[in-house]
């Protein structure tokens, strides 16, 4: 077995990649290992770059074309759009990039070989953290804009992340093959939005390959090479990590200075732990071991790290005995949305917990802790970057680990400020204090807010304003992005401040449906603000169901309570007794529905005469119902939870 295939084989055994591998291996598009002498690539022939864009503007397609042009992978045989860097099954199914991938390629121009290190980035608003992490290892970025859709919300946010990092930006207009492409108009838009000189914009079709050669040329001509020194002590920047069941944690690094070789003893500036490099290599695009990594290069290191927490994103690694000052760290990811995950069958909890632990090893931005619910038993509470992230994680659990789970309604992290000056962050509605209690020690509750921007054709502007107002938006402002000939071609950028909790429900769906799919949306953290919130609990037959508790804004409590009790009424099967379904805030019930009893026909089979006998049976049944009602708890089947909690 050659080394590459041995690697691929090991990856195949890795549960987190198992299903991904199955789709992966059928393509057999890798050209196999080339023997690369890393020392031949001095910093001046290295380019570290990223592709940044709004979701679906074609990053992964362009990445594939670049890998094909440089013969890193074989050209695809059929017309099928099969992306190499989008490896996870969920990414293939949904057509989105979730996890940034790294790939190195070699390209010769005028007889000179260049080592190009590409870091593919996700485009969805939830994954901005992955984007800025990827950019930390780059000197330049290709800013890709769809020539038919134009500048969108994430085009702007990723542009700013790249600009702040001082990266050289190469503007690229993609999808010029589309009949709806408007290259001149979009180029003008890029000029007015980003201050980009239209003469610098490359026009390409990542799908057909048209113009892609010029992109490679521009990467080499315009992006500066890394300023790395070979004679300085070795210093590596850890920007991502993977997990391999056999080799442990694999760190992706960018060598800032010096050289690292297999067998070198290294230490982490962050944890101070020491390791020996067992394997070193580059992503080509699969892991290909090399003898060393030289200054400016990007690759991986396997050094027997057991726990993923040891590979601290933003850490600096150095050779033992040659300490270096650590590079400026990296802002840790912040969970924006929390949800409880429970097994459908409570005896599956140990298996579920193990699966979640494994999955979090490949997705470092998920936070995790145990939680238990009287309705759903033992489970976990997880923190995600956003609701799409949560959805993707759930799908990966189901696809890759066969997990059968119930996920609770998402909640954002609230802050409780106490009279004694202390504060607490809560991410679980069950921990929410009862504000109606007069002895409360709570001074105020604060909720997270975000600065949102929406880009939309002018004709939908009114609908968007309405949507924002209905979600408690404040500080609404707008400006024109460009002025087209009619309301469908001139676009407006609308900005506002709104509570994060308002966008974790069905905001995206509403945004898309009210704008016929034309609106794009982005948001950034804007801190916390005081808010009038309350915990809403749902009672079935007088008993609260903890897993259904919600934190709501007082202004929406009536609508929410009515919708939810109706929803519950619809999905809870009728019992042998009457069941009140109530929504309450504190001790006050604010909405109620009654589920009528399912009257079993106890007189069936009693034909003719004997009226008293019939009556006796009915009386007995009434007694039985009373007992049941008194002692019985409502049997809420798992499917009912599914129905209630799916949005
Ligand atoms: N017609 C046309 N379609 C393209 C072109 N480039 C990409 N596409 C299509 O656009 C869709 C999105 O492309 P991707 O490469 O997956 O986009 P992405 O930016 O990687 O998307 P995310 O990873 O989700 O951010 C796919 O259906 C591609 O086939 C192009 O040049 N022309």
Can you spell out the DSSP letters for 474-501?
A: EEEEEEEEE--SSTTTSEEEEEEEEEHH
Average the pLDDT over 28-53 and give the result: 80
The top-scoring range by mean pLDDT among 18-32, 178-192, 317-331, 607-621 is 178-192
Rounded Cα distance, 268 and 311, in Å: 9
Half-sphere exposure in the Cβ direction for 321 (13 Å, CA): 2
Confidence tier at 97 by pLDDT (50, 70, 90): low
pLDDT at 124 (0 to 100): 63
Cβ count within 10 A of residue 109: 12
Give whole-number Cα distances, 317 to 175, 242, 324, in Å. Answer: 41, 17, 9
Please indicate whether residue 303 or residue 361 has the higher confidence score (pLDDT).
303
Backbone conformation region of residue 258, classed left if phi is above 0, alpha if psi is from -120 to 50, else beta = left
Average the pLDDT over 11-40 and give the result: 46
Give whole-number Cα distances, 384 to 363, 381, 574, in Å. Answer: 10, 10, 36
Confidence tier at 298 by pLDDT (50, 70, 90): very high
Quick check: 22 pLDDT over 80? Answer: no
CB-ligand 1 contact for 193 (6 Å cutoff): no
Quick check: 356 pLDDT over 60? Answer: yes
Average the pLDDT over 498-520 and give the result: 85
For residue 588 the two structure tokens come to 């006050």
Å from CA of 167 to ligand 1 middle: 24
Quick check: 573 pLDDT over 50? Answer: yes
Which of 338, 449, 352 shows the shortest CA–CA distance to 402?
352
Question: Is residue 175 marked as binding?
Answer: yes
By CB atoms closer than 10 A (0-12, 13-18, 19+), residue 359 is buried
- Give the contacts of 474 (CB within 8 A, at least 6 positions apart): 496, 497, 498
pLDDT at 126 (0 to 100): 67
Cβ count within 10 A of residue 179: 5
Question: Which ranges of 368-430 would DSSP assign to H, the alpha helix?
Answer: 387-401
pLDDT digit string, tens, across residues 219-247: 999 999 999 888 889 999 988 888 777 88
**Polymer length in residues for the chain:** 647
Å from CA of 79 to ligand 1 middle: 14
Mutate to test the pocket of ligand 1, among 50, 59, 61 (most ligand atoms within 8 A of CB): 61
Q: Which segment of 207-221, 317-331, 365-379, 631-645 scores lowest on mean pLDDT?
A: 631-645
Q: Which segment of 11-15, 261-265, 295-299, 420-424 scores lowest on mean pLDDT?
A: 11-15
Question: Is residue 406 marked as binding?
Answer: no
Ligand 1 closest atom vs CA 122 = 25
Average the pLDDT over 518-532 and give the result: 89
Ligand 1 closest atom vs CA 206 = 31
What are residue 309's phi and psi, to 5 degrees? -65, -20
Rounded Cα distance, 642 and 221, in Å: 55
CB-ligand 1 contact for 95 (6 Å cutoff): yes
DSSP conformational letter for 200: G
Ligand 1 closest atom vs CA 144 = 19
Average the pLDDT over 63-80 and give the result: 77
Rounded Cα distance, 545 and 549, in Å: 7
Å from CA of 95 to ligand 1 middle: 8
Average the pLDDT over 439-453 and give the result: 89
Å from CA of 60 to ligand 1 middle: 7
Quick check: 604 pLDDT over 70? Answer: no
CB-ligand 1 contact for 447 (6 Å cutoff): no
Rounded Cα distance, 640 and 623, in Å: 28
Quick check: 540 pLDDT over 60? Answer: yes
Quick check: 630 pLDDT over 80? Answer: no
pLDDT at 215 (0 to 100): 97
Average the pLDDT over 30-42 and give the result: 73
Question: Which ranges of 314-441 would DSSP assign to H, the alpha helix?
Answer: 349-362, 387-401
Rounded Cα distance, 552 and 504, in Å: 13
For residue 125 the two structure tokens come to 């608003």
Å from CA of 190 to ligand 1 middle: 19
Tell me the β-bridge partners of 557: none
Q: Which residues of 546-568 are buried (b: 16+ CB within 10 A; e: fewer)?
A: bbbbbbbbeeebeebbeebbebb
Which of 357, 368, 306, 375 shows the shortest CA–CA distance to 335?
368
Residues 577 and 632: beta-carbon distance below 8 Å: yes
pLDDT at 196 (0 to 100): 93
pLDDT at 592 (0 to 100): 93
CB-ligand 1 contact for 107 (6 Å cutoff): no
For residue 530 the two structure tokens come to 């005081």
Å from CA of 291 to ligand 1 middle: 36
- Ligand 1 atom 22 nearest Cα: 96
pLDDT at 34 (0 to 100): 59
Average the pLDDT over 608-618 and give the result: 65
Give whole-number Cα distances, 351 to 14, 355, 365, 378, in Å. Answer: 16, 6, 21, 12
Rg (CA), the chain: 29
- Give the contacts of 625 (CB within 8 A, at least 6 positions apart): 576, 577, 578, 597
pLDDT at 100 (0 to 100): 55
Rounded Cα distance, 514 and 511, in Å: 5
Please indicate whether residue 440 or residue 186 has the higher confidence score (pLDDT).
186
Which of 286, 283, 284, 282 shows the shortest CA–CA distance to 260?
282
DSSP conformational letter for 435: T
**DSSP H or E segment with residue 452:** strand 442-457
**DSSP H or E segment with residue 108:** strand 101-109
Tell me the β-bridge partners of 411: 338
Å from CA of 106 to ligand 1 middle: 24
- Ligand 1 atom 21 nearest Cα: 56
Which of 61, 77, 53 shows the shortest CA–CA distance to 177?
61
pLDDT digit string, tens, across residues 309-355: 788 878 899 999 998 888 776 666 778 889 999 887 778 899 999 88
pLDDT at 241 (0 to 100): 81
Quick check: 86 pLDDT over 60? Answer: no
Quick check: 414 pLDDT over 90? Answer: yes
Rounded Cα distance, 446 and 548, in Å: 22
pLDDT digit string, tens, across residues 369-400: 898 877 778 899 999 888 778 888 888 888 88
Ligand 1 closest atom vs CA 178 = 1
CB-ligand 1 contact for 291 (6 Å cutoff): no
What are residue 490's phi and psi, to 5 degrees? -90, 135
pLDDT at 11 (0 to 100): 29
Ligand 1 closest atom vs CA 81 = 29
CB-ligand 1 contact for 97 (6 Å cutoff): yes
Mutate to test the pocket of ligand 1, among 60, 101, 145 (most ligand atoms within 8 A of CB): 60
Question: Is residue 56 marked as binding?
Answer: yes
ipTM for the complex shown: 0.98
Question: Is residue 59 marked as binding?
Answer: yes
Å from CA of 59 to ligand 1 middle: 7
């Amino acid at each position: 077995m050659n080394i590459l295939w041995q690697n691929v084989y090991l990856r195949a055994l890795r549960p987190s990649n198992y299903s991904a591998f199955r789709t992966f291996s059928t393509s057999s598009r890798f050209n196999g290992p080339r023997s690369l002498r890393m020392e031949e690539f001095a910093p001046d022939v290295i380019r570290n770059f990223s592709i940044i864009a709004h979701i679906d503007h074609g990053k992964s397609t362009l990445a594939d074309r670049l890998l094909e042009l440089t013969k890193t992978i074989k050209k695809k045989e059929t017309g099928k759009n099969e992306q190499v860097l989008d490896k996870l099954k969920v990414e293939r199914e949904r057509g989105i990039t979730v996890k940034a991938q790294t790939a190195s390629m070699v390209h010769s121009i005028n007889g000179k070989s260049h080592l190009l290190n590409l870091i593919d980035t996700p485009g969805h608003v939830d994954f901005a953290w992955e984007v800025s992490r990827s950019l930390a290892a780059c000197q330049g970025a290709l800013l890709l804009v769809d020539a038919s859709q134009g500048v969108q919300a994430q085009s702007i946010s990723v542009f700013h992340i790249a600009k702040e990092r001082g990266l050289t930006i190469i503007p690229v207009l993609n999808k010029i093959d589309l009949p709806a492409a408007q290259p001149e108009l979009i180029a003008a838009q890029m000029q007015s939005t980003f201050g980009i000189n239209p003469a610098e914009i490359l026009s390409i079709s990542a799908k057909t390959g048209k113009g892609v050669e010029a992109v490679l040329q521009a990467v080499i001509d315009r992006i500066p090479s890394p300023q790395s020194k070979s004679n300085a002590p070795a210093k590596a920047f850890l920007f991502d990590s993977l997990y391999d069941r056999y080799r442990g944690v694999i760190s992706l690094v960018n060598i800032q200075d010096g050289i690292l070789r297999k067998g070198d003893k290294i230490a982490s500036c962050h944890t101070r732990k020491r390791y020996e490099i067992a394997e070193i290599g580059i992503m080509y695009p699969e892991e290909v071991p090399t003898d060393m990594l030289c200054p400016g290069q990007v690759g991986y290191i396997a050094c027997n790290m057991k726990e993923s927490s040891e590979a601290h994103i933003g850490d600096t690694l150095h050779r033992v005995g040659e300490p270096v000052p650590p590079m400026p760290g990296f802002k840790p990811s912040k969970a924006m949305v929390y949800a409880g995950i429970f097994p459908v069958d409570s005896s599956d909890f140990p298996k579920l917990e193990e699966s979640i632990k494994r999955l979090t090893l490949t997705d470092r931005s998920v936070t995790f802790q145990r939680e238990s619910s009287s309705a759903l038993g033992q489970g976990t509470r997880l923190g995600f970057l956003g609701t799409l992230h949560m959805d993707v994680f759930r799908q990966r659990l189901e696809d890759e680990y066969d997990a059968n789970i119930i996920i609770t309604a998402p909640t954002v992290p609230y802050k409780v400020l106490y009279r004694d000056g202390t504060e607490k962050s809560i991410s679980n509605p069950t921990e929410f204090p009862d504000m109606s209690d007069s002895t409360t020690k709570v001074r105020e509750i604060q909720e997270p807010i975000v600065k949102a921007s929406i880009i939309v054709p002018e004709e939908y502007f009114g609908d968007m304003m309405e949507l924002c107002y209905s979600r408690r938006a404040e500080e609404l402002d707008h400006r024109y992005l460009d002025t087209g000939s009619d309301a469908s071609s001139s676009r407006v950028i609308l900005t506002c401040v709104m509570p994060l909790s308002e966008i974790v429900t069905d905001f995206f769906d509403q945004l898309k449906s009210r704008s016929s799919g034309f609106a794009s949306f982005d948001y950034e953290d804007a801190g916390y603000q005081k808010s009038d919130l309350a915990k809403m609990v749902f009672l079935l037959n007088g008993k609260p169901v903890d897993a259904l508790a919600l934190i709501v804004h007082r202004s929406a409590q009536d609508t929410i309570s009515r919708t939810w009790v109706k929803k519950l009424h619809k999905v809870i099967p009728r019992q042998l007794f009457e069941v009140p379904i109530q929504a309450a805030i504190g001790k006050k019930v604010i909405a109620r529905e009654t589920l009528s009893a399912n009257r079993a026909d106890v007189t069936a089979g009693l034909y003719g005469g004997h009226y008293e006998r019939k009556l006796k049976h009915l009386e007995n049944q009434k007694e039985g119902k009373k007992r049941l009602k008194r002692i019985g708890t409502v049997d809420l089947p798992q499917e009912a939870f599914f129905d209630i909690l799916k949005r």
